[in-house]
């Protein structure tokens, strides 16, 4: 039986309301779809980015693999820099055709390498490896780098997602400061915050946006099916509960405020409350559902080692019961979208009626986070 004692021992604080755990590191190219989108008029005048898929992966040896697809483009030049907005164009680090996979070596050490893909027609695209590669926070990653259904791209380096920040090392905190972290939204309960206070750069503005409210910690789970159902029910609560709607209303409003960037939002594992936050933001920006699901499921990869270590500490009889609580699964996220349909009829109505976001709020969100 899985009970409160085991939840505390293995880090699943406030089991029903907190909905902890997950992570991932398998780099997968950005997915693309040609259906549905929300494109503000101000973006329509921008130079169209011709890339339909693109991805940067930092390899164990320090090299970078960059893959892209850009129909109709004959030549792409790749430039590198240590900040997103200051990339040297004196000499490309690689050149390829409209569809290519290349490896860049010998760039040296940096907090984060950025790559600008410059096609022979259309707008350029600037990307970095999604992960920040912090051992103390394996699920801390960029929330951007995805293509919308109408051809825009979600900017990287503006919005980050993570799990627990209480274990960050001094070097990790210094890195976040150099990367320009300005605002942190903590989606956890007060109990979770007290158990593992955030370690952040001095001067970071912190906002508590408790998604779960008061959690019931007296739940006993005796089967894997019951554990999975708990996760499904919790996802629905994030969509329709008063505390969930208030927390996400605040977060999405801040995500569209340029004075908040760079902004990071997190819960304990960075997969459930944080997962719905990313799903809501990306969907509001017009990112296709399959891409949103891809981003959600990445938590299984980034947290794979941590999840395996947690299961190894459990008695064998409890591992199957506990595993659904560590996972992210398509049915979990889908239950959130199902709740949106059941309560509001559409995602646009969820944004307007459930979260109280105005058309002005959504224009700001798209202006802040979209490029191309």
Three-state DSSP at 43 gives: helix
Q: In what order do the strands lie in the sheet with 114-119?
A: 94-96, 76-81, 114-119, 125-128
CA angle (266, 270, 271) in 5-degree steps: 135
Q: For residue 69, indicate whether it is catalytic.
A: no
Instruction: State the catalytic residue, choosing from 30, 31, 168, 267.
Output: 267
For residue 297, which of 265, 271, 273 has the smallest C-alpha distance?
271
**CA distance linking residue 360 with residue 239, whole number of Å:** 22
Residues 6 or more apart in contact with residue 89 via CB below 8 angstroms: 79, 116, 118
Three-state DSSP at 268 gives: coil
Can you read off the two tokens belonging to residue 89?
């164009």
Please name the helix (run of DSSP H) or strand (run of DSSP E) that holds residue 96, with its range, or none: strand 94-96
Under 8 Å between Cβ of 161 and 282: no
| Overall residue count recorded for the chain in this entry | 372
Each residue of 141-151: b (16+ CB within 10 Å) or e? bbbbbbbbbbb
Say if strands 159-162 and 263-266 run parallel, antiparallel, or are unpaired: parallel
The set of catalytic residues is 267
């Amino acid at each position: 039986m899985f009970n409160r004692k085991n939840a505390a021992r293995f880090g699943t604080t406030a089991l029903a309301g907190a909905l902890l755990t997950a992570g991932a590191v398998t780099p997968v190219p950005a997915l693309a779809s040609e259906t549905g989108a929300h494109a503000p008029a101000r973006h329509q005048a921008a130079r169209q980015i011709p890339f339909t898929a693109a991805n940067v992966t930092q390899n164990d040896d320090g090299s970078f693999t960059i893959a892209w697809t850009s129909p109709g483009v004959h030549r792409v030049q790749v430039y590198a820099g240590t900040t997103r907005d200051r990339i040297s164009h004196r000499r490309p680090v690689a050149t390829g055709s409209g569809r290519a996979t290349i490896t860049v070596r010998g760039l040296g050490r940096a907090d984060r390498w950025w790559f600008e893909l410059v096609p022979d027609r259309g707008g350029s695209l600037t990307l970095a490896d999604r992960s920040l590669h912090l051992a103390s926070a394996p699920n801390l990653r960029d929330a951007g780098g995805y293509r919308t259904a109408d051809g825009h791209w979600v900017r990287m380096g503006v919005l980050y997602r993570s799990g627990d920040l209480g274990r960050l090392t001094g070097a990790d905190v210094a890195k976040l400061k150099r990367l320009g972290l300005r605002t942190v939204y903590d989606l956890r309960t007060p109990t979770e915050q007290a158990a593992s206070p955030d370690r952040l750069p001095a001067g970071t503005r912190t906002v508590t946006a408790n998604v779960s409210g008061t959690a019931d910690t007296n739940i006993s789970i005796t089967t894997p099916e019951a554990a999975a159902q708990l996760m499904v029910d919790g996802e629905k609560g994030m969509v329709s509960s008063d505390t969930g709607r208030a927390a996400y209303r605040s977060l999405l409003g801040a995500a569209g405020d340029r004075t908040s960037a760079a902004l990071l939002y997190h819960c304990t594992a960075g997969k459930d409350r944080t997962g719905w936050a990313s799903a809501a933001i990306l969907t509001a920006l017009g990112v296709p559902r399959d891409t949103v699901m891809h981003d959600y499921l990445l938590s299984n990869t980034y947290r794979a080692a941590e999840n395996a270590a947690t299961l190894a500490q459990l008695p064998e009889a409890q591992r199957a019961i506990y595993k659904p609580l560590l996972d992210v699964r398509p049915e979990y996220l889908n239950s959130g979208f199902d709740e949106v349909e059941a309560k509001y009829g559409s995602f646009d109505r969820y944004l307007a009626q459930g979260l109280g976001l105005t058309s002005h709020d959504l224009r700001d969100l798209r202006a802040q986070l979209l490029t191309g």
